[in-house]
Amino acid sequence: MVVTNGTYRVQDRGTPDSPEIFQTLADEYARKILVAADNGPKTAKTLSEECDASLTTIYRRVSTLQEHGLIEERHTVDSDGSHRSEFETTLEGLYVDLTDGQFTLSLETRDELADNFTTLWNDLRGED
């Protein structure tokens, strides 16, 4: 279920995916990557340095985080024409509910389209 709420998208992952997401977030490197990539887009090399992890570890964890929609990849072109990927956290909030003996996990993620529209609208209106 996807519900739009302002500039955020709330995804109710429900019980089936919850164990996988819990397991992903239990991983120390995955958490370090999410925190490091929350301060703006970072290359795998930068994440490797900041998280004190090998590039192989970074790419494996980023792949898992992407599967769950917790991080996104952006492709950029440097001034010399070389292409590179940068990663940025999309996770804004994580909510766990225990009802009737079952965990329900809800994720609040950035909705880039809504953010872009809001920025465009504010620019058109001359607002900061």
Claim: this prediction has a pTM higher than 0.75: no
Q: Beta partners for 10?
A: 3, 108
Phi/psi region, residue 26 (left: phi>0; alpha: psi -120 to 50; beta: rest), is alpha
The pLDDT value recorded for residue 34 is: 96
Q: Are strands 91-99 and 83-89 parallel, antiparallel or unpaired?
A: unpaired
pLDDT tens sequence across 77-96:
888 888 899 999 998 888 88
Three-state DSSP class for 79?
coil
Three-state DSSP class for 52?
coil
Query: With contact defined as beta carbons under 8 Å apart, do 87 and 72 qualify?
Result: yes
pLDDT tens sequence across 17-56:
678 888 999 999 999 999 999 989 999 999 999 999 999 9
